[in-house]
Chains A and B, each alone.
Chain A
Amino acid sequence: GALVYQYPRRTICKSGTSMRMECQAVGFQATSVAWYRQSPQKTFELIALSTVNSAIKYEQNFTQEKFPISHPNLSFSSMTVLNAYLEDRGLYLCGARHSANSDYTFGSGTRLLVI
């Protein structure tokens, strides 16, 4: 079946530093990868959608300068949180799918704590 491995599961970083999280698709080709953030007491908010061979589309309030994403092939995607501050804490989730006829499969999330 389709699986998405996301790592690390949780991380702590000092304020002003950066951290990178990765997602690996297993059992299918991740043509599209969506990155979400769930801040405390909030729902999953879309950061950006990455589709292979297309430009990465960022949602309002999220920028490439802050959340650069790499999607180099059909099995891997990474996102970095640059200069993390307290408001960046939360659960970051990646979801991937193969085609328009398939549902997104989600990773288990990366919980970011900023101190």
Chain B
Amino acid sequence: GDSVTQTEGLVTLTEGLPVMLNCTYQTIYSNAFLFWYVHYLNESPWLLLRSSTDNKRTEHQGFHATLHKSSSSFHLQKSSAQLSDSALYYCALSDPGGNYKPTFGKGTSLVVHP
């Protein structure tokens, strides 16, 4: 079945430094979708980025990710971390075999400090 592996645990950064959260995945479907969700405490997880196109950079709210099917990766990046970026980040995968319901990675807690 599908699986998603992402940078686990806690990532701590100083404000202004670049963000890089790793995500790799396994699926038999070539037309799978990859997502990054952001989850703030006591709020709904919301969709930050999505992509199904190989080697195309996707951007939203200063974050970007490029789906690389050759390496099964969808790493999340931002050039300069902000305090408000502190949250849980989940990489997720969906495919037609599972009716496109997301399979989530274990989540990465990003803490940005001054």
Contact = CB atoms under 8 A, between A and B. Distances in A.
Contacts of B98: 49
A9 B42 contact: yes
Interface size class of B (residues with CB under 8 A): 20 to 34
Interface in B31-48: 35, 37, 42-47
B106 A43 contact: yes
B101 A104 contact: yes
A34 interface: yes
Given A32-B99, A49-B99, A51-B99, A106 B104 contact: no
B106 A103 contact: no
A25 interface: no
A106 B44 contact: yes
Contacts of A34: 101-102
Contacts of A109: 44
Interface string B89-101: 0100000001111
Contacts of A42: 106
Main secondary structure of the interface of A (DSSP, over half): strand
Interface residues of A, number: 23
A44 interface: yes
Contacts of A46: 101, 103
A22 B105 CA distance: 25
B44 A44 contact: no
Interface string B1-42: 000000000000000000000000000000000010100001
15 contacts: A4-B44, A43-B90, A43-B104, A43-B107, A44-B90, A44-B104, A49-B98, A49-B99, A93-B45, A100-B100, A103-B35, A104-B100, A104-B101, A104-B102, A105-B44
Interface of B: 35, 37, 42-47, 50, 90, 98-107
